[in-house]
A and B are shown apart, each in its own frame.
Chain A
Amino acid sequence: MGLILTEDQLILRDMAKSFFDEKSPVERMRELRDSRDAVGFSRDLWKEMGELGWIGILFPESVGGAEMGYGELGVVLGECGRVLAPEPFMSTVLLGGNAILLGGNEPLQKELLPDVCSGNRILTLAFQEKGRFDPYAIETKASRDGDHYTITGRKSFVLDGHVADQIVVAARTAGSSGERDGLSLFIVDAGAPGLTIHRDNLVDGRNGSHLELENVAVDGARVLGTVDAGADVLDAVFDRATVGLCAEMVGSFEEAFERTLEYLKTREQFGVKIGTFQALRHRIANLFAEMEFTRSIVRDAQTAIDEGRNDIAEATSAAKARCSEVAPLIAGEAVQMHGGIGMTDEEEIGLFFKRLKAAELSLGDAIFHRNRFAHLRGY
């Protein structure tokens, strides 16, 4: 796989583009937000994406998937990013789905993934407990009790938690917060006794939630990966989810860039188009460079996963470090160059600004990933 889209991927991109243009312009996301929609995305549209095979891109054919890779998923996520579609790729596919795919045995995969692929099952992953991303800062406890585990603790920033059918919960079976060892992953049903899910609305209009778990019982057969070594699964899930998030971010900041470029060509002040001002020309030319460099690095990270290279973690952190650096730069300049109108809720550029901030801070910001990259590179 090279750094440019293949013929098949170009066809997929055109399909996805016309699908989202027709069925999911940015206004749809705004309507869902403003109407305080109970779900927060469209279940019907999600099922349509299931029929098109997009939800199952990563999953094996045996569970109804297409068995393709991040190159293909990235194309679809990029188009989602361009229209800010809030459908649950992150919660259900990249986080929850990947946890089942990478950590679940065959019976668990057979039980859960077919409905995921068709769009009839929503999953999510509950890992975060504090604000800044810190993958092993987990205090929620799971204790063994015969053939099952009992989980007690609190989780925050659980995406789409209020509509998830199952929540994969990362909890500590040994050790203390901050340690990589001693983590385990459990599949918890949404209706499990002792589990309370509170919906939260996020700044980008998406669904967050926080959980209270009080002696929630989980069957020992519903553990993903190995007890105490859940971080092996978790790390792999985070890398893949991060690369998926980067693909979506590229779509969003490309769209924000294009809209801003168009604005510079049409908006007039002092009797001339504002794009004639060198102060703005130089800045947008530089943004173009930042955007293209980042796109190359993200594509390389997708290739690293799809080809099973041994530098997936490194390529992932390179991609997210760049995305999280460039996203606020482009989004911030986009609002600035739109001037006063950019501050209004009516102008859509602000929606891109907010979504990109959420994505920037999710799964590790630029500082986190630069440090991780440096560590992996031996300094």
Chain B
Amino acid sequence: MSTANLEEFRQEIRTWIDENLPSELRVGTRKDLPKKLLSQWNKALISRGLVAPEWDTEYGGGGLDRKQAGIVKEELNAVRAPKLRTFGVAMLGPTLLEFGTEEQKREFLPQIARNEVTWCQGYSEPGAGSDLASLQTRAVREGDEYIVTGQKIWTTGADKADWIFCLVRTEPDAPKHEGISFLLFPMKQEGVKVSPLNLIDGSADFSQVFFDGARAKASHLVGPLNGGWTIAKRLLQHERTQDGGSEGGITGAMKDTIFDLVKREVGLDARGTLQDPTIRERLAQQELEQLGLRLTMRRAGEEMRASQTGRDIASLGKYRWANMVKDEQDIAMMAMGAQGLGWSGDGFGADQLERTRAWLTTRADSIWGGTNEVQLNVIAKRVLKIPE
């Protein structure tokens, strides 16, 4: 597409957003958005093919090229449109496009693009967290089916999911990375039990999932039998690029920034300086960290485009991002003091209660998707090439 055509396309998307996105929703992806408006907006995204803009139209996508899809993303971000990024769109879709059979793509991708089927991810197990490849959930072939037995944990949205993409052990005697397969099966069946986990932040989005003779069609095994580990790792890359690459902290999803909050909670003196010099310094450090992350991820992109070889600096994203968002909430707690210790009640502002929950929620950011320690191991081994 020529530059002029791209500009025309941008105008077209802008107009479409103006017509379809109400101002109440232009606040980023938040949990407390008005449900009716959100559902209308999601429908509009679906009918315009913008849930999965880069997928082929035959799979329910928007059929856009990379530049057009980039424009869509930029325009949606510019107005802080809430995202419809499901597990299906962000992780399973790209994985099926790469490894799935034609039948699997035709069966699953259009449902994902229309947001008709909700997926969950069956990866972690009680005994397989950072050491994911030691997973024990078994799948045994029986005619045209696999029979699945075992347990998963940290399964986001399992209680609402229709289907699961699940790592299962299909060859128990092989070395641990070589006996794993990638299997799809429905959640609403006998043999699948879901038990939500209550987390420290009061949420219950994660569940434990128990399989006792759950059934999967043999034709729903993705990629080669016992070749699931490669697919699993590839899918994790899709997961990691979602956040390490994103700019700024989780402030984007909150009503006011950490800077607004600290100014309000701590107060400014006559010179316009924060009254507490220690918190002021912490805040400056936080802002410098945000700046460093933003500029370094931008530099990683420039290096890639210019084919300048060097160490993979994009690998730093997830690790530093996690520390940064945690630190942001630590500063908020420090600034709020006792007002940050509320769980509920009129004695606390809604924004204060929200910050406290965010402080708790963000403790997970250095754990999921590869703990900080795993990230550092990866950097030491693969980026700095220090022999083990």
The smallest beta-carbon distance between B257 and chain A, in angstroms, is 11
Taking CB atoms, residues of chain B closer than 8 Å to A286 are: 376
Q: Does B250 contact A (CB under 8 A)?
A: no
Q: Does A276 contact B (CB under 8 A)?
A: yes
The smallest beta-carbon distance between A248 and chain B, in angstroms, is 19
Q: Is the CB of A261 within 8 A of B284?
A: no
Contact with B along A1-23 (1 / 0, CB 8 A): 01111000000000000000000
A281-B316 in contact given A4-B303, A374-B284 (Cβ < 8 Å): no
Which chain B residue has the least Cβ–Cβ distance from A376?
B284
A286 CA / B375 CA spacing, docked (Å): 10
Q: Is the CB of B379 within 8 A of A375?
A: no
Q: Does B388 contact A (CB under 8 A)?
A: yes
The smallest beta-carbon distance between B256 and chain A, in angstroms, is 13
A262 CA / B182 CA spacing, docked (Å): 40
Q: Is the CB of A3 within 8 A of B316?
A: no
Contact with B along A263-298 (1 / 0, CB 8 A): 011000000010110100110111011001110110
Q: Is the CB of B302 within 8 A of A3?
A: yes
Partner of A293, one of B262, B273, B287, B293: B293
The smallest beta-carbon distance between B274 and chain A, in angstroms, is 5
Which chain A residue has the least Cβ–Cβ distance from B308?
A4
The smallest beta-carbon distance between A52 and chain B, in angstroms, is 24
Taking CB atoms, residues of chain B closer than 8 Å to A296 are: 292, 295-296, 298-299
Taking CB atoms, residues of chain A closer than 8 Å to B381 are: 281
A299 CA / B320 CA spacing, docked (Å): 19
Which chain A residue has the least Cβ–Cβ distance from B375?
A285
Q: Is the CB of A288 within 8 A of B386?
A: no
Q: Is the CB of A379 within 8 A of B273?
A: yes
Q: Does B319 contact A (CB under 8 A)?
A: yes
Q: B257-272: which have CB < 8 Å to A?
A: 259, 262-263, 268, 272
A284-B373 in contact given A373-B284, A379-B262, A379-B273 (Cβ < 8 Å): no
Taking CB atoms, residues of chain A closer than 8 Å to B299 are: 2-4, 296, 299
Give the bracket for the number of chain A residues in contact with chain B.
35 or more
Q: Does B192 contact A (CB under 8 A)?
A: no
Which chain B residue has the least Cβ–Cβ distance from A287?
B384
In terms of DSSP, what is the predominant structure of the interface of chain B? Answer: helix
Which chain A residue has the least Cβ–Cβ distance from B296?
A296
Q: Does B195 contact A (CB under 8 A)?
A: no
The smallest beta-carbon distance between B132 and chain A, in angstroms, is 19
Residue among A296, A297, A373 with most chain B CB within 10 A: A296
Q: Does B176 contact A (CB under 8 A)?
A: no
Q: Is the CB of B298 within 8 A of A292?
A: no
Contact with B along A336-379 (1 / 0, CB 8 A): 00000000000000000000000000000001001101110111
Partner of A276, one of B283, B293, B388: B388
Q: A99-123: which have CB < 8 Å to B?
A: none
A273 CA / B386 CA spacing, docked (Å): 9
Taking CB atoms, residues of chain A closer than 8 Å to B272 are: 378-379
A273 CA / B313 CA spacing, docked (Å): 25
Given contacts A282-B377, A285-B380, 18 further A-B contacts (CB under 8 A): A4-B308, A281-B386, A282-B380, A284-B380, A288-B311, A288-B383, A289-B316, A292-B296, A292-B311, A293-B292, A293-B296, A293-B320, A297-B295, A299-B299, A322-B288, A367-B281, A370-B288, A371-B284
22 residue pairs bridging A and B, Cβ less than 8 Å apart = A3-B302, A276-B386, A276-B387, A278-B377, A281-B381, A282-B380, A288-B316, A289-B316, A289-B320, A292-B296, A294-B292, A318-B288, A318-B291, A321-B284, A370-B288, A374-B281, A374-B283, A375-B273, A377-B259, A379-B259, A379-B268, A379-B273
Q: Which 7 A-B pairs have the closest CB atoms?
A: A293-B292, A296-B295, A281-B380, A3-B299, A285-B379, A370-B284, A275-B386
